[in-house]
């Protein structure tokens, strides 16, 4: 379970360009479901995802993951939690150009010190599951948009995280590929993983994979509703 208590995030604090991206948000995300954060651009969805995923620390408020307060932990422990607990699918996919699909998928496992053959086998298994076995050796800049995203999904799963965090995952996909993506999410949810997706795409937040929709505007939670399921 992930719990946010009165969380605020201010960028450039004390400077003329100070900007409050998230204002006093309190939210609880229970395990084994799919939560969609919706709202217009600049509403604070991505920042909230970063805070939940331990990529940034809140300016004030508390974040609790599985009973542990993580908002005040040193960076090293935060990284450890991020690596163990979360898998990220970014809006721009953020794969490293010049590396093959397999190498990109293996990257998050490098610091774990897991033996190479285990990591490679797991990467190949994930790529095969996502229909990319034939593209394992191909450099990611040569892949199509849908393939690139599936590599990003495989990378998010390599450390077997319990929570998948996706930021505007369908922003660069057509309808068919967006529906494919939601089918993959359905599979992951079926495995018992928690999904948190920030999107203003109705194909996402109206999908029956989503069981909870949280609306945001100006850094605040404006509405909460149960999803289609």
Region 144-163 residues binding another protein, contact defined as CB under 8 A = 155, 159
Residue 37: CB minimum distance to another protein, A: 15
Shortest Cβ distance from residue 155 to another protein (Å)? Answer: 7
According to CB under 8 A, which one of 18, 69, 72, 110 is a site residue for another protein? 110
Instruction: Determine which residue in the list 23, 83, 125, 217 makes contact with another protein, applying CB under 8 A.
Output: 83
If you count them, how many residues does the chain have? Answer: 229
Rounded CA separation 224/215 (Å): 6
Residue 10 lies near another protein (rule: CB under 8 A): no
Residues facing residue 9 across a β-bridge = 22
46 near another protein (CB under 8 A): yes
Q: Examine residue 1 and tell whether it contacts another protein (CB under 8 A).
A: no
72 binds another protein (CB under 8 A): no
Q: Which of residues 171-210 bind another protein (CB under 8 A)?
A: none
Least separation in angstroms between CB 11 and another protein = 8
Q: Which of 96, 121, 134, 179 touches another protein (CB under 8 A)?
A: 96
- Smallest gap from Cβ 112 to another protein, in A, equals 7
Query: Could you say which of 10, 64, 99, 138 contacts another protein (CB under 8 A)?
Result: 99
Contact by Cβ (8 Å): 196, 30: no
User: Which listed range, 22-30, 88-96, 130-138, 215-223, lies at the site for another protein (CB under 8 A)?
Assistant: 88-96
Q: Which residues bind another protein (CB under 8 A)?
A: 11, 46-47, 50, 55-57, 75-76, 79-80, 82-83, 88, 90, 94-99, 103, 107-116, 155, 159
């Amino acid at each position: 379970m992930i719990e946010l208590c009165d969380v605020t995030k201010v960028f450039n604090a004390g400077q003329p360009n100070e900007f409050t991206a998230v204002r006093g948000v309190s939210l609880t995300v229970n395990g084994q479901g799919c939560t969609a954060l919706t709202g217009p651009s600049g509403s604070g969805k991505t920042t909230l995802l970063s805070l939940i995923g331990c990529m940034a620390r809140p300016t004030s408020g508390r974040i609790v993951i599985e009973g542990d307060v993580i908002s005040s932990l040193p960076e090293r422990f935060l990284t450890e939690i991020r690596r163990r607990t979360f898998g990220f699918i970014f809006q721009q996919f953020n794969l490293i150009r010049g590396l093959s699909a397999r190498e990109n998928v293996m990257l998050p496992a490098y610091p774990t010190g897991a033996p190479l053959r285990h990591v490679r086998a797991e990467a190949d298994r994930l790529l095969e599951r996502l229909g990319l076995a034939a593209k394992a050796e191909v450099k990611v800049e040569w892949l199509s948009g849908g393939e690139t995203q599936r590599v990003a999904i495989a990378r998010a799963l390599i450390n077997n995280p319990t929570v998948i965090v996706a930021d505007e995952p369908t922003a660069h996909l057509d309808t068919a590929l967006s529906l494919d993506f939601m089918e993959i999410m359905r599979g992951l949810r079926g495995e018992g993983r928690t999904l948190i997706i920030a999107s203003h795409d109705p194909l996402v937040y109206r999908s029956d994979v989503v069981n909870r929709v949280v609306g945001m505007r100006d850094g605040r939670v404006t509405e909460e509703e149960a999803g289609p399921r």
